[in-house]
Structure 1
Amino acid sequence: MKKRIRKYLTALIGIVLSSCSNGQITVAENGIEILNSGITKEQSQLLFDNTKSFPNNTQLSIAFIKNGKIDFLGIARTNDTIRLIENYKNAFEIGSITKVFTATLLSHFVNDQKLKLEDNIQDYLDFEINSKNGITFKELANHTSGLPRLPSNLNLLLVDQDNPYKDYGEEKLISYLTKEIELNHEPGLKYEYSNLGAGILGFELATISKSSYESLLQEKIFTKYKMANSTSKRENVETKLTKGLKPNGKTTSNWDFDALAGGGAIFSTVEDLSKFGLAQFDNTNNELTLTRKPTFKVNDNMSIGLGWHILKRKNGGELIWHNGGTGGYTSSMALDLENKNGIIILSNVSAFNKSMGNIDQLCFGLIKTLDEK
């Protein structure tokens, strides 16, 4: 019975896709509904294939950037049917895409000559880091610091599983740095992804400026790029906040960050992120250009700048890319700077969902289709 129902739904479920322009709906041979303008059958099939396994109430909010022009698309899964919604102004947790913004703040500090990338972070603190190895700002931003993924005094088994970072404040971070820090390797030698490193970077930039991470974001980035619905504080979200989902489809708590905000605290919309994406195409923007310069070769197919991962494509081009995941959300953002193309996906698919990798697959699949149009 279940197999028959599934087969029936597969044949009948239609994905209704929309861009900023108005178009007439047609039905492809596979039963998926598409628009005559904007969205192709291939893109429609990619959306169906990569979202059909997600639970009810799943939402995806997507920005298509083609030759510098933006179209938005929103879909929701309701009663096992994937339908059109308008959610490009809705806020989602962007997770680790936050790290790109933290690195962009660092670039502002460098361009304002407040510090240098190769400076030792110890030189800007009023307490002593208990390590024989010096760590630079660049090493925090490109994940070569040697720091572990998380601090040893943040035990995820002992905290609120639905909001694990909320009670990790300045006192705990300073205690870790002065008493418990232990590097996995000498700084600068190896790429090892670290939420802790990005968190320390955000914390230290706020300390240097005698401000807060949120204030820096608003002053240096969100206001500049007119990202009115972006914030690192849940209480500051003014637009509709899409509810995050557990893997089983039930709603879950949002994540609140304290001292480690630089690693993943931002709420944003695809409308706002598309503005930040378009700004990346301006090569005269020194702050953004610096973040995209390779600082470390991870392997033959990937290097890292400051925050951004730089991926080699099979067609010989490059993408700058980052993704993110929290308890209730998964995101992915890829930009083709040469052709001014990009895909930005925000979703309320849990990072713990076994199919969360579909969001990246969809992002890379969709941006490939922009090469062909």
Structure 2
Amino acid sequence: MRRGIIFSMFLLLYTGSVRSQVRLPECIEHKDVWTKTQKEQIFEHVRTFPVQTQLAFAFIENGAVSFSGVISENDTISVVDNRHKVFEIGSISKVFTASLLAALVVEGKLNLDDPVNDRLPFALKDSIRPTFRQLANHTSGLPRMPSNFDGGVPFDPANPYRNYSEDLLKDYLTRQMELIYQPGERSEYSNLGAGLLAYTLAKVTGLNYLQLLKKYLFSNYGMTASTTQREDVASYMVSGLDQNGRETSSWDFSVLIGAGGILSTTEDMAQFAFAQFDESNRELKLTRIPTFEVNERLAVGLGWYIVRTSAETELYCHNGGTGGYSSSIALDTNRANGVIILSNVSAFHPESPKIERLCFSLLQTIGDSSE
């Protein structure tokens, strides 16, 4: 999965001026959903995307949510109600995987600093012993991807995770695995680590990833449209677009499903955001505690990236990208504000980082009643 988080960029966007200087063109058809500044930002970020691009938005202000969306058709960007439409959320799935870990910790079924080796039916190569915490905050020393990732037969670049099987993962972990840095030394993004975390949690509980999600998250927070099984929501899915704007294959994550395999809607994602505002929710609160300090402005929790925009403000954020979709979530839990964007912009589209930039620039406008 392509990682689109650009920390220096979103820090600049959030702390600096984000007001667009473009004039809102007549080609945007809109209702009174956004302020003038928000409409300008949305147009400026969306106008370069292909025809049939859709963005679905959830705006949360003081714990109240509004939904809207846009679709690009010919030369027009029109408002559309797509809150019920399903998108791949890509790496935002990692926040859910880490939330499963937190739920099991609160239940007393494991500890964050337990080595995953002790919960697997085989020993890792060279007795490497990454902990659950290290897998959840990307400090395990594991590489981004396993070295035998293209060993699935056939390897399909349009659906690259589909044939990476449990047997291949086990072979990598027991015979090929090498650390790229000492555990705890730094935080370096790892799809492998997140996939291994979900795989291990399944071994601990005897439940598969979807069963875990339903038991601990989806059912608790009313996320009735969220799943990992595309066939269950096929009639509601927005078609993914490749980097050239053509319809493309969805991604099937197989054994590394915990790295990016969830499909959801903005309506469901808003439910998950509301749960983050509940300070009595012990497991979700645990995910937002900093576990590794990258620098004075950036930390990593369990799954979440934590951006400190001021002494009083911390934002909890993550993005996601697959071959046909890009997504972003940013929450200010102190103010119960947030923005969620799901889209069918390919992570490989050259302008895909605009999805995350738009998310942060829109979050800054929430509460701004000047226009």
| Same fold? TM cut 0.5 | yes
Alignment-derived partner of residue 4 in structure 2: none
| Structure 1 residue ranges, 4+ long, deviating more than 6 angstroms after superposition | none
User: Residue 276 of structure 2 corresponds to which residue in structure 1?
Assistant: 280
Q: Is contact 1:229-1:238 (8 Å) kept? A: no
1:16 aligned onto 2:11? no
Task: Look up the SS of the partner of 1:65 in the other structure.
Answer: strand
1:29-70 alpha-carbon deviations (Å, 9 max, x no partner): xxxxxx1xx421000101000000000000000000000000
> Partner residue of 1:22?
none
Matched letter for residue 84 of structure 1: V
CA distance in 1, matches of 2:54, 2:298: 30
Distance in 2 of aligned mates of 1:178 and 1:108: 28
The question of 1:223 aligning with 2:223 is answered no
Match of 1:59 among 14, 31, 54: 54
Q: 3-state DSSP class of the match of 2:254?
A: coil
Q: Which amino acid aligns with 2:177?
A: I
Pick from 117, 123, 129 the counterpart of residue 124 of structure 2. 129
Q: Helix, strand or coil: the match of 2:125? A: coil
The partner residue of 2:182 within 162, 183, 186 is 186
Shift of 1:286: 0.2
- The residue type paired with residue 14 of structure 1 is I
What's the TM-score once normalised by structure 1's chain length? 0.90
Aligned to 1:131, the other structure's residue is in SS state helix
Deviation at 1:132, TM superposition (A): 4.0
2:233 corresponding residue in structure 1 = 237
The 5 Å alignment of 1:212-361 reads 212-237=208-233, 240-314=236-310, 316-361=312-357
What's the RMSD between the two structures over aligned residues? 1.6
1:223–1:203 CA distance, 2 compared to 1 (3 A) = same
Structure with higher RCO (Cα < 8 A, 6+ apart): 2
Task: Report SS of the residue matched to 1:167.
Answer: coil
Q: Which moved further from structure 2: 138-147 or 236-245?
A: 236-245
Distance of 1:94 and 1:257 partners within structure 2? 12
**Separation (CA, whole Å) in 1 of partners of 2:90 and 2:324:** 10
* Structure 2 residue aligned with 1:79: 74
Question: Helix, strand or coil for the counterpart of 1:321?
Answer: strand
Matched, 1:89 2:103: no
Q: For 1:100, which of 95, 102, 106 is the aligned residue?
A: 95
Write the distance in 2 (CA, Å) between the matches of 1:333 and 1:302: 16
Return 5+ residue gaps in structure 2 as ranges. Answer: 1-22
Shift of 1:14: 1.3
C-alpha distance in 1 between matches for 2:173 and 2:128? 12
Displacement of 1:359 after TM fit?
0.4
2:287–2:301 contact (8 Å) kept in structure 1: yes
Distance 2:36 2:90 in 1: 30
**Equivalent pair of 1:56/1:79 in contact (CA under 8 Å):** yes
Contiguous gaps of at least 5 residues in structure 1: 1-8, 18-34
How far 1:314 moved relative to its partner? Answer: 4.8
Question: Aligned-pair distance for 1:207?
Answer: 1.0
Contact kept, 8 Å, 2:141 with 2:184, in 1: the verdict is yes
1:59-87 CA-to-partner distances (Å, cap 9, x unmatched) read 00000000000000111000121001111
Which stretch of structure 1 is more off in the superposition, 60-69 or 124-133? 124-133
Partner Cα distance (1:79, 1:316) in 2: 44
* Higher mean C-alpha deviation, range 60-69 or range 125-134: 125-134
Q: Distance in 1 between matches of 2:77 and 2:95?
A: 31
1:363 aligns with 2:359: yes
CA–CA separation in structure 2 for the residues paired with 1:124 and 1:252:
38
Q: Percent identity of the aligned residues?
A: 47
